[in-house]
Amino acid sequence: MRTTERCPGGGFRRAGGDPVSRCFPQVRRVAQPNLVAALGLCLLVEPAVSAEWTRGAGFTAGAIYTDNVCLRNTDKLDDTIGVFTPNVRLKGEGARARMDLYAAAQFNTMEDSDVECGVSGADNISPAPRIRFNGSSELLSNWFFLDATAFADQNRINPFAAGGEDALDGRGNLNTSYQYAISPYIARRLTDTASLSLRYRYSEEHNTEDVLDDNQRQQVQFDLGTSPELSRFSVGVGGNYSDIEYEERFGGDELFNSQLSSAQVRAAFQWSRSIQFNAYVGEEWNDYVSVFQDSDGGYWDVGVTWTPNSRVTVELGTGERFFGESPRASISYRHKRSTLRASYLRDLTYDRSLRGTDPFADNVDDLVDGGLPNDQGIIGDGGEETTITNSPILDERFLLVYRFTGRRTTFSANASHSEQTRAEDGFEDTFVYAGVGVERALSARLSTYLRLSWTRREADQRRGLLAPDSDNARATIGLERKFGRRTSVGLSYQYNERSSDNILDEYEENRVLLQFRYQI
């Protein structure tokens, strides 16, 4: 554990360090292409050449009228914005490899508008990319494998300031995160019930805004033992190691680089076909910037898993780690027309992990086919809500995802509640989201939809006036008319409202969207 002191002019320094030499301004360097990533992608693509491929492409083009393009509470300015969003979809599956790619980029005419909002940072929102890639390959039969992922999306720079709700940002509060990961691993069955797993994962994050530091992360995971799925009583040993390096924060000082490592012994007992008891005990050794007294020590967990049938899985558990109690709970339910996921977890994470995670999407299919939090062709902010920090975050999170698909009606509901504590200063911030959506087919060619969402952001009181509490509400209602198998036209109305403890961050906005879609 490394402790810090605040610099008089802002930032941090090592505790007891020289007050002048330790307080550096932030210096950036341009990231260089990584040969490991390029080689990994080549190894991933080669086995997939003979796979069965599904290809798709299309675009959305239209115009958006807004009566408050700068998102102000006074002196509102209206504008009409042109939007063009091409997209591609590539999905392949073979005997030894699988790939799934969705990519889109939203172009808009805000930069060419005569309207001046008087804020900086708005030049990075066109084009606004959205990329989701998942791939896996079996390089050596039943022995050596390779996974790869890629992510690109927009997220707020300052989660407590106005703007950043979607790519049409008139307040300059938008960042684009690019992330990719390459993960080779060994998975080998040693006996009928015992197996060995050894995984290495290298990932990088690059941001368009300098306030968010680029970084690289290396992870190693190890597990050796019997599998709970193959034996009535199973035991094993495992270990995890993670190292994050940030690119020259505070003039090259390595203050905010962090390492997490742990080792554990696990056991599980299959009481019956539907009930399993499980437990583990271990030790962890961590090294990162923290204002807390403890950052490592022993930990344990006990739990039960209940699977009454193939459609339902319920997991409950509780434990203790260096940061305190670590309860967990989850339920997963799938049926012909409905799916439900709900979970509660208290765990250590990073803002890079939260920015690069879709909170309500299991996979690429959920991103493309799901309704929320997308807004019918306008790219919204992606990733989970989080604050700016390079230290670990203690995240206590509840998540709910529900979707029902009927013959003519689709209903979806999402909710999340996240309390995040930054290790570097102990600030506690809360992010709440709730949304519902209904789509109804009125005829074979005409459909309508309604979407409602609400976001609450509560900042630690020690942040003061720079981080006011706020509520954002959005309502969208629209119609879509199909003119053929590939073309359609959509017309919608959207109302946005923000209330805040800072009156300058409050606003109301009305939008009218007219869009033409072509998809093959």
Q: How many residues does the chain have?
A: 520
Whether the Cβ atoms of residue 84 and residue 59 lie closer than 8 Å to each other: yes
- Does residue 383 belong to any structural domain of this protein? yes
The angle at the Cα of 82, spanning 157 to 372, to the nearest 5 degrees, equals 55
- Does residue 510 belong to any structural domain of this protein? yes
Instruction: Cis check for the bond before 127: say yes or no (omega within 30 of 0).
Output: yes
Note the pLDDT of residue 46: 57
Residue 468 burial by Cβ neighbours in a 10 Å radius (0-12, 13-18, 19+): buried
Helix (H, G, I), strand (E, B) or coil at 124: helix
Angstrom distance (rounded) from CA 161 to CA 155: 12
335-356 pLDDT per residue, tens: 889 999 999 999 999 998 888 7
- Residue 107's nearest CA partner among 64, 149, 156 is 64
176-214 pLDDT per residue, tens: 999 999 999 999 999 988 999 999 999 999 998 888 889
* C-alpha distances out from residue 216 to 96, 200, 203, 204, 315, Å: 29, 13, 6, 4, 33
- Name the residue type at position 16: G
Q: Could you tell me where the beta strands, DSSP code E, fall in 190-257?
A: 194-207, 215-226, 233-246
Q: Between residues 292 and 110, which one has the greater pLDDT?
A: 110
Render 493-506 in DSSP notation, one character per residue: EEEEEEEESSGGG-
37-68 pLDDT per residue, tens: 555 556 555 555 566 888 989 999 999 999 99
457-474 mean pLDDT:
89
Helix (H, G, I), strand (E, B) or coil at 305: strand
The angle at the Cα of 413, spanning 437 to 410, to the nearest 5 degrees, equals 50
CATH number of the CATH domain containing 350: 2.40.160
- Does residue 237 belong to any structural domain of this protein? no
- Does residue 129 belong to any structural domain of this protein? yes
Q: How many Cβ atoms are within 10 Å of 390's Cβ, its own excluded? A: 23
Q: Is the pLDDT of residue 374 over 50?
A: no
- Residue 391's nearest CA partner among 423, 419, 421, 352 is 423
* C-alpha distances out from residue 282 to 147, 303, 328, 347, 463, Å: 28, 15, 17, 16, 36
Instruction: Cis check for the bond before 327: say yes or no (omega within 30 of 0).
Output: no
Render 444-459 in DSSP notation, one character per residue: SSEEEEEEEEEEEEE-
- Does residue 394 belong to any structural domain of this protein? yes
| pTM beyond cutoff 0.95 | no
Strand-pairing partners, residue 431, are 418, 457
Whether the Cβ atoms of residue 277 and residue 267 lie closer than 8 Å to each other: no
Number of domains into which the chain is organized: 1
Whether the Cβ atoms of residue 268 and residue 304 lie closer than 8 Å to each other: no
Q: Between residues 33 and 406, which one has the greater pLDDT?
A: 406
Angstrom distance (rounded) from CA 234 to CA 221: 19
284-296 mean pLDDT:
83
Helix (H, G, I), strand (E, B) or coil at 488: strand
Note the pLDDT of residue 371: 33
Structural domain range at position 514: 31-212+335-519
- Does residue 312 belong to any structural domain of this protein? no
- Does residue 143 belong to any structural domain of this protein? yes
257-268 mean pLDDT:
95
Q: In whole angstroms, what separates CA 223 from the centre of its chain?
A: 26
Q: Which of 14-18, 222-226, 352-356, 508-512 is predicted least confidently?
A: 14-18
Note the pLDDT of residue 110: 82
Helix (H, G, I), strand (E, B) or coil at 463: helix
Helix (H, G, I), strand (E, B) or coil at 135: strand
Note the pLDDT of residue 370: 38
- Name the residue type at position 251: G
Angstrom distance (rounded) from CA 418 to CA 421: 10
Q: Which of 18-22, 70-74, 168-172 is predicted least confidently?
A: 18-22
Residue 30 burial by Cβ neighbours in a 10 Å radius (0-12, 13-18, 19+): exposed
- Give percent above pLDDT 70 in the chain: 82
- Does residue 113 belong to any structural domain of this protein? yes
- Residue 456's nearest CA partner among 429, 426, 477 is 429
306-327 pLDDT per residue, tens: 999 999 999 999 999 999 999 9
404-435 pLDDT per residue, tens: 999 999 999 999 999 999 998 899 999 999 99
Note the pLDDT of residue 108: 87
87-116 pLDDT per residue, tens: 998 988 888 899 989 898 989 888 777 777
Whether the Cβ atoms of residue 173 and residue 386 lie closer than 8 Å to each other: no
